[in-house]
Structure 1
Amino acid sequence: MAIKGVLFDFSGTLFRIESSESWLRAVLTKSGVALPEPDLVRAAQQLESAGALAGGAFPTGPLPDDLAALWAVRDRTAEAHRAAYTGLSRQVRLPDPGLHDALYDRHMTPAAWQPYPDTAEVLGALRERGVAVGVVSNIGWDLRPVFRDHGVDPYVDAYVLSYEYGIQKPDTRLFALACEALGVGPRDALMVGDDRRADGGAADLGCAVYFVEHRLVTERPDGLRPVLDLLG
């Protein structure tokens, strides 16, 4: 059966977040806080290990007891998302306590994200072929400005974001909402993502699923192009 709609994950699929060091450096510069270079690099590494950068690496060790339950439902509301990530950030000592909220705010800006090299090409090709495109993301904030700023919003027909519905992947209800928004049945849809557990939940609804690798932008120049070959 020909695919009539393609659902894409956001982070690690269409876009990639900046490095932890770039993230911290940008916030320090904007805040006017000076930190010796060795201390900056060390703090960035600690933030990465803590999993404090949403869209970056997951925590490398056990979560603090007060954050473990929140982490499991972090994408259901904007409040839970901010609390979870700023809570992880606060495990790392920084010169000013206000930097933890500033770091969270930074990760929501278009400047913190970069599209993969073939994102615009693939989304544009789908639009030319008349294939509906949706973005289905576990997230705690509105990512639409990121798409607009990088010029790919015109290719997206619908955004289905977990925090707007109180449902997070792999719950099939989120994928069902996305299919409904695109006006296609699950068996006429393809889900493209990087997380086999979260994005793989679309298969339980009857969608076809294709996985890409969550890698640096420079390391994955054409990971999305095979999607065009799967349309049938």
Structure 2
Amino acid sequence: MFDFSGTLLRIESTEDWLGAGLAATGIRLSDEEFRATVGRLTEYGALPGGSAPRRMPAHLEALWAERDVSAGQHRAAYGGLALAAGLPEPEPELAQALYDRHMSPAAWRPYPDTGPTLRELRRRGVPVAVVSNIGWDLRPIFRTHGLDELVDAYVLSYELGVQKPDPLIFRTACERLGLPPAEVLMVGDDRTADGGAAALGCPVHFVDHLPVDRRPHGLTPLLDLLG
């Protein structure tokens, strides 16, 4: 079992994300305004898959805690954070463009060893599931990057109605792989969410959630662990 964001693929930088949103809406900012907006978006953790919020508005706390349970909650949580951070006018239009951008394949890059690792697992006959806390369908991302044929099952929180670390999401993945939990390794970057698989009896291996160019070999050691 693999987590998605920060494990197999990484979202673009906040700078690139905002730049794409501005281009899509035709909004122009000065360099100073651009840098300031990037700083606020980063502080509020408004980029899905990016850094965690350092500031959380009180009215979004409950929504944030269960943001990955449904598509509506995910959109409302991240859209709310973007608006709370303060966007240039027209705010709703840019908030929509930013949310749409993060779901596009162009916004995601696989880690350098993602493809080679998944291909080697396929060669060895090891089945693979992607288990993600997410509010939208990530399958097009995998298809665009040529990885979909290397994944046997997708277990997505918004489709199941529960999010990691709930044992149900890991149990569902094990069932779809046709294996008992003790024989399924969970690989992720979040010690709380992904570490929840241990309660089910799954071994767990953690990788660092780093930019793509700073983690070229984070997944390669798995091949030695699996023998």
1:84 aligns with one of 77, 80, 96: 77
| Structure 2 residue identity aligned to 1:86 | G
> Is the Cα–Cα contact under 8 Å of residues 90 and 100 in structure 1 kept in the other structure?
yes
2:7 paired residue number: 13
1:4 paired residue number: none
Per-residue deviation at 1:27?
A: 1.1
Q: Summarize the alignment of residues 76-115 of structure 1 with structure 2, pairs less than 5 Å apart.
A: 76-91=69-84, 92-97=86-91, 98-115=93-110
Per-residue deviation at 1:36?
A: 1.0
Measure the CA separation in 1 of the matches of 2:24 and 2:114: 29
Q: Which has the higher contact order (CA 8 A, sep 6+)?
A: 1
> What stretches of structure 1 of length at least 5 have no aligned partner?
1-6
1:65 matched to 2:58? The reply is yes
Question: What SS is found at the alignment partner of 2:50?
Answer: coil
Measure the CA separation in 2 of the matches of 1:127 and 1:140: 27
Q: How many residues align?
A: 225
> Is the Cα–Cα contact under 8 Å of residues 101 and 107 in structure 2 kept in the other structure?
yes
2:209 paired residue number: 214
Structure 1 length as normaliser, TM-score? 0.96
1:141 matched to 2:115? The reply is no
Structure 2 length as normaliser, TM-score? 0.98
1:37 aligns with one of 31, 35, 56: 31
2:21 paired residue number: 27
> Is the Cα–Cα contact under 8 Å of residues 21 and 45 in structure 1 kept in the other structure?
no
Q: For residues 167-206 of structure 1, what are the alpha-carbon distances to aligned partners after superposition, in whole Å with 9 as ceiling and x for unaligned?
A: 1000010000000011111011000000000000000000
Measure the CA separation in 1 of the matches of 2:118 and 2:12: 22
**RMSD of equivalent CA atoms:** 0.7
Moved over 3 A (4+): none
1:120 aligns with one of 115, 121, 130: 115
Question: What SS is found at the alignment partner of 2:28?
Answer: coil
Larger helix proportion, structure 1 or 2? 2
Measure the CA separation in 2 of the matches of 1:90 and 1:223: 34
